Amino acid sequence: MYKQTEDRRSFLKKMAILSAVTTATAMFPGILFAEEQTKSLPAGDLEWKKAPCRFCGVGCGVKVGIENGKAVAVKGDPNSTVNKGLCCVKGYHAVISMYGKDRLTKPLVKKNGKYVETSMKEALDLVASKLKETRDQYGKDSVSIYGSGQWTIPDGYVASKLFKGCLSTNNVEANARLCMAGAVTGFVTSFGMDEPMGCYEDIDHADVFVLWGNNMAEMHPVLFSRMLDQKYKRNAVIIDFATRTTRTSVAANKSILFQPQTDLAVANAICHEILRNGWENKDFIEQNCNLNKGLTNIGYGLEDKFKFKDKPEPISFEDYRKFLEDYSPEKVEKYSGVSAKDIKYMASLYGDPNKKVTSFWCMGMNQHTRATWINNLVYNIHLLTGKISTPGNSPFSLTGQPSACGTVREVGTLTHKLPKGVVMNKKSREFAAKIWGVPESNIPPKPTYDTVEMFRALDRGDIRFMWIQVTNPMVSLPHANRYTEGAKKEGRFVVVSDIYPTPTTDVADVILPSAMWVEREGLFGNSERRTQYWKKMVEPPGECMSDTWQIIEVARRLGFNEQFPYKEETHVAEIYNEYRQFHDNKKHNMAPLEVLEKEAGMQWPYVDGKPTKWRYNSKYDPACTKEGFDFYGKPEGKAIIWQRPYEAPAEVPTKEYPFWLNTGRVLEHWHTGSMTRRIPVLHRAMPHAYVEINPVDAKRLGITDGDMVLLTSKRGQLKMPALINGRGLPPVGQVFTPFFDENMLVNKLTLDSYDPISREPDYKKCAVRVEKA
Amino acid sequence: MPIKSYIAYPAEGKRQELINTLKKFEECEVIPSENHDIVIVITETNSKEEEKVFEARLKEVNSLMMLSMVAGFDTN
């Protein structure tokens, strides 16, 4: 869509078209102008090369147009089964985000409070020497690396190998802890293995879609378009179950609003209703499920060094039925705000044996102080009805980042994880050590810090060196003030690898300029277990270097040449082939690079030259060892139905702070906005953050649309303009604000409470006061 | 030389009629949505005066229910 050589008039005309398309996309969820997208691509002899999109976790296949060594255009790849040629406004403009005026192109080192340009060699020397010096002085757990779901697979792999295998610390975390950890622990506790059993093809088969706190129209627009297509073509029904009215609600068949946190109770009430009506699939449950309960009153992780370990205990089906007596629709109606009639309606959709049901969720269920529980409870619904692992019947956790699954969850860049298994397991450590060429004793058997605790440790001084790559924690962490101040403290050394200046580079001692997306070679893994590969297409500017190669350079400076022997021109293939050894089995085999080079991605398990679309069902999954369903992650091949109660959130509105604050994303900007805010058409469409207020509250407080509003929580204050009857409408007593705007940093207000099992923070619920500023 | 983009809403049941009518105007480029009843309209005129006249002509189109401007540029 972008070509600098065009004349001014053509350029302005395209900008006018783009503005209209972008506005229409924001106003009408799922709207398509595919013909226009193709027609308005630049003319000339572009060379088109395939890649996965740089932005969200949907993992759309795109074609990037290259001209004279520059990426000038993006179009949807019609060969990709993910997006079938479609693109959303962010993906369509992705190449523009590579060419922002303030792109970091030279390493910067802070000297006497000012950043000074230096060479990459000198900067990497300094990083390596500071890392070594800190480790020697303060011990192996004083150094850490914090990456991201935007790390490519090779980035995350070498980070884990260096820190866990060579430097003997489990201080490896990634920002997917902030968005996907609850999904991981949900999958692992219910099925014994991470990641969805189904795939996007479920959309083409499902009769009903239930969206659990998931504004797909803005966050996953391409999948939402596919879903709307089924609504129009096959009369598929979409239920939007959420805490506020959004573009998704408007496009859905039915919008059902619930009070924050009570999704736990409603999920149990749906199960209650399924059992009360005898809609459960008794044979399926008998053959494929066990039942457990865990600890209750499990806390909120607000204290430093918080510890929790669940204690699962088996229960009988009758115990479970008795537990659900407290969750009749009539009882739950009283505190959830959802009518008994609506709960029964949702139960009837799940309970109808003739309807295929797919549940989608993302941050609403994962950024939740009971994230693991609510994930378990939605699985319960699918397990009770046997609606799982078959086309159209799918509990489906979506991701927000392009390789939250492929890198953070599969490579295992979390403190407790290894590429296969966990650090606590001796066999997993031995297996990793063998492939990494290090002694098993190098890998410590205990996890150290999850993300929030890692930044608390930096604040306390337990961690002294932190290397942050491809993420912007000073905008994205909850209770951000504490962690920003902590990172600036004397005696801390922070390295940040990024492509643009951000509030996180502002706290860095060394800033390393990174090569972005198609300026380097890489692999991502999306929400449906699809691994996608792309080749380097253009040269990065200045001294920009891929995050993978930055880590390799530092590893070699630290003396680990033997463990990092890769050649620059072939390192991605060498690393991927090494990594594949971890998953060389029918349950997780990854497609060879030669296949990924040709195809628009391939799903794992990749067995006998074929991807597995639906896991745990012998009809589709060669890893099953018994006929029918085999939940092979668990003993006996049986999934777990969990007894999990409703428990209140960590903070609720009070007289002093009477409003719920919910935070989230918008269509135009991706996460903290560091890339999309440099795309002029997207920045113009959404130039700054805002606070959505219900008109009743606004009237009572004397606030009109556009007035500046002061939000105050126990942790901070923030002024931002009011949006009344805008694209989102919170109920009375609630406000919503997006987090993309670093100049209106809402995470100064949010609470760093988290789910004790997954340790994922809850960004959706804290208490604030709202006043006209 | 002004360039403007609009979102046009057709009168009920008159989507195709609106597209056909707009396509006849030389000053107009039309981009219909494939799955919604809205049309993006791009106008290019030679002067502000000409633009005013053309806007008035657009508003007289019977199949057009509403026209919302999104962006405007002047190439001069």
Topology of the domain comprising A659-750: Barwin-like endoglucanases (2.40.40)
CATH of the domain at B16: 3.30.70.920
- Chain A residues whose CB is inside 8 A of the B40 CB are 17, 20-21, 24, 33, 36
Whole-number Å distance between alpha carbons of A448 and A465: 15
The model carries a pTM of: 0.90
| pLDDT over threshold 70, residue A545 | yes
Mapped to the 3 state alphabet, what secondary structure does A74-111 carry?
EEECCCCCCCCCCCCHHHHCHHHHHCCCCCCCCCEEEE
pLDDT in tens, A397-440: 999 999 999 999 999 999 999 999 999 999 999 999 999 999 99
Whole-number Å distance between alpha carbons of A578 and A394: 32
| pLDDT over threshold 60, residue A36 | no
Whether the Cβ atoms of residue A487 and residue A494 lie closer than 8 Å to each other:
yes
Determine the structural domain holding residue B63 and report its residue range.
Answer: 2-74
- Please report the pLDDT score of residue A4 as a whole number: 42
- Please report the pLDDT score of residue A687 as a whole number: 95
| pLDDT over threshold 70, residue A711 | yes
CATH homologous superfamily, domain A193-279+314-401 = Dimethylsulfoxide Reductase, domain 2 (3.40.228.10)
Cis peptide upstream of residue A605 (ω within 30 degrees of 0)? yes
- Taking residues A83-110, report their average pLDDT: 93
Total beta-carbon pairs less than 8 A apart between chain A and chain B: 69
**Out of 1.10.287.130, 3.40.50.740, 3.40.50.300, 3.40.50.720, which CATH number does the structure's domain A124-179+402-565 have?**
3.40.50.740
- Please report the pLDDT score of residue B67 as a whole number: 83
**Among the listed residues B28, B58, B54, the one whose alpha carbon sits nearest the alpha carbon of residue B41:** B28
| pLDDT over threshold 80, residue A360 | yes
- How would residue B6 be classed by pLDDT, with cut points 50, 70 and 90? confident
State the helix-helix crossing angle for A263-276 and A340-351, rounded to 10 degrees.
60
- Chain A residues whose CB is inside 8 A of the B35 CB are 30-32, 225, 228-229, 232
Q: How many CB atoms within 10 Å of residue A696?
A: 11
Is the model more confident about A27 or about B4?
Answer: B4
- How would residue B35 be classed by pLDDT, with cut points 50, 70 and 90? confident
**Out of 3.40.190.10, 2.20.25.90, 2.20.25.240, 3.30.2090.10, which CATH number does the structure's domain A8-98 have?**
2.20.25.90
| Chain B contact probe: residue of A6, A7, A18, A36 with most B CBs at under 10 A | A36
- Please report the pLDDT score of residue A134 as a whole number: 98
**What's the N-to-C CA distance of chain A in angstroms?**
41
pLDDT in tens, A115-132: 999 999 999 999 999 999
- Please report the pLDDT score of residue A1 as a whole number: 41
- Please report the pLDDT score of residue A25 as a whole number: 76
Task: Using an 8 Å CB-CB cutoff, list residues of chain A that contact chain B.
Answer: 8-9, 12-13, 15-17, 19-21, 23-24, 27-28, 30-36, 225, 228-229, 232
Number of domain units in chain B: 1
Residue of B nearest to A37 (CA): B31
Record: contact A17-B40, CB cut-off 8 A: yes
Whether the Cβ atoms of residue B37 and residue B18 lie closer than 8 Å to each other:
no
pLDDT in tens, A485-505: 999 999 999 999 999 999 999
- How would residue A2 be classed by pLDDT, with cut points 50, 70 and 90? very low
What residues are paired with A754 via a beta bridge? Answer: A761
- Kindly provide the b/e burial profile for residues A4-27, where b requires at least 16 CB atoms within 10 angstroms of the residue's own CB: eeeeeeebbbbbbbbbbbbbbbbb
| pLDDT over threshold 60, residue A37 | no
Q: For chain B, how big is the Rg over CA atoms in Å?
A: 12
**Among the listed residues A522, A569, A572, A520, the one whose alpha carbon sits nearest the alpha carbon of residue A546:** A520
- Taking residues A5-13, report their average pLDDT: 67
- How would residue B75 be classed by pLDDT, with cut points 50, 70 and 90? low
Residue range(s) occupied by CATH 3.40.228.10 in chain A: 193-279+314-401
- How would residue A3 be classed by pLDDT, with cut points 50, 70 and 90? very low
Beta strands A114-117; A108-111: pairing state = antiparallel
Is the model more confident about A554 or about A41?
Answer: A554
The type of residue at A95 is V
- Please report the pLDDT score of residue A6 as a whole number: 52
> Catalytic residue numbers of A?
90, 179-180, 363, 400-401
